[in-house]
Amino acid sequence: MPQAPKGTRDIIGEDYQAFRYIIDTAERVIGSTGAVHIETPVFEETAVFEKAVGASTDIVRKEMYTFTDRGGRSLTLRPEGTAGIVRAYLENGMKVWPQPVRLYTYGPMFRAENVQRGRYRQFHQIDYEAIGSADPLVDAEAIALLVKILQELGLTGLEVKLGSVGDPEDRKQYNAYLRGLLSPSLERLSKDSKDRLELNPMRILDSKDQKDQVLLKELRARPMLDFLGPEAKRHFEDLQKYLKALGVNFSIDPSIVRGLDYYVRTAFEVHHARIGAQSALCGGGRYDGLAEMLGGAHVPGVGWAFGIERIAIAMEEEGFSPSAEAGPDLLIVPLDEKAREEALALAQQLRPKFRVEFLYTTKSPRKGLEDALKRQATFVAFLGEAERSKGVVTLKHLARGSQEEVYAQELAAKLGARI
Ligand code: AMP
Does ligand 1 lie within 6 Å of residue 396's CB atom? no
pLDDT for 262 equals 84
CATH of domain 14-167+229-317: 3.30.930.10
Q: Please state, as a whole number, how many other Cβ atoms lie within 10 Å of the Cβ of residue 3.
A: 6
Which residue lies with its CA nearest to atom 1 of ligand 1?
Answer: 283
Does ligand 1 lie within 6 Å of residue 123's CB atom? yes
Instruction: Report the alpha-carbon distance of residue 375 to residue 190 in Å, rounded.
Output: 56
Q: What are the residue boundaries of the structural domains of the chain, listed by start? A: 14-167+229-317, 170-228, 330-418
DSSP 8-state class, residue 303: E
Does ligand 1 lie within 6 Å of residue 40's CB atom? no
Does ligand 1 lie within 6 Å of residue 312's CB atom? no
Does ligand 1 lie within 6 Å of residue 283's CB atom? yes
Instruction: Report the alpha-carbon distance of residue 300 to residue 286 in Å, rounded.
Output: 8
pLDDT for 281 equals 94
* CATH fold for the domain made of 330-418: Rossmann fold (3.40.50)
Q: Ligand 1 centre and the CA of 213: distance in Å?
A: 22
pLDDT for 278 equals 62
**CA separation, residue 37 to residues 23, 40, 129 (Å):** 12, 10, 10
Q: Which atom from ligand 1 is nearest to the alpha carbon of 120? A: 20
14-167+229-317 matches 330-418 in fold: no
Does ligand 1 lie within 6 Å of residue 263's CB atom? no
pLDDT for 419 equals 46
What does each of the 419 residues of the chain score in pLDDT, given as a tens digit? 999 999 999 999 999 999 999 999 999 999 999 999 999 999 999 999 999 888 778 888 899 999 999 999 999 999 999 999 999 999 999 999 999 999 999 999 999 999 998 899 999 999 999 999 999 999 999 999 999 999 999 999 899 999 999 999 999 999 999 999 999 998 999 998 998 888 889 888 888 889 999 999 999 999 999 999 999 999 999 999 999 999 999 999 988 877 677 889 999 999 998 776 667 899 999 999 999 999 999 999 999 999 999 999 999 999 988 777 789 999 999 999 999 999 999 999 999 999 999 999 999 999 999 999 999 999 999 999 999 999 999 999 999 999 999 998 899 999 986 54
Residues 223/212, Cβ–Cβ less than 8 Å = no
Residues 288/265, Cβ–Cβ less than 8 Å = yes
**In this structure, which amino acid lies at residue 299?**
V
pLDDT above 70 as % of the chain: 98
Q: Ligand 1 centre and the CA of 120: distance in Å?
A: 9
pLDDT for 259 equals 65
Which residue lies with its CA nearest to atom 8 of ligand 1?
Answer: 307
SS3 assignment, position 3: coil
Helical H runs in 206-321? 210-218, 230-246, 290-293, 308-317
pLDDT for 59 equals 87
Q: Ligand 1 centre and the CA of 306: distance in Å?
A: 7
Does ligand 1 lie within 6 Å of residue 58's CB atom? no
Which residue lies with its CA nearest to atom 11 of ligand 1?
Answer: 307
Residues 313/155, Cβ–Cβ less than 8 Å = no
Query: H/E element holding 364?
Result: none
Does ligand 1 lie within 6 Å of residue 125's CB atom? yes
Given ligand 1 and candidates 9, 105, 122, 123, which is best to mutate, with the most ligand atoms within 8 Å of its CB? Answer: 123
Q: Which atom from ligand 1 is nearest to the alpha carbon of 284? A: 4
Instruction: Report the alpha-carbon distance of residue 329 to residue 417 in Å, rounded.
Output: 12
pLDDT tens digits for 245-284?
999 999 999 888 776 778 899 999 999 987 766 678 999 9
User: 237: Cβ–Cβ under 8 A, 6 or more apart, which residues?
Assistant: none
Does ligand 1 lie within 6 Å of residue 110's CB atom? no
pLDDT for 418 equals 53
pLDDT for 241 equals 98
pTM for this entry = 0.90
Q: Which atom from ligand 1 is nearest to the alpha carbon of 310? A: 12
- Strand-pairing partners, residue 251, are 161
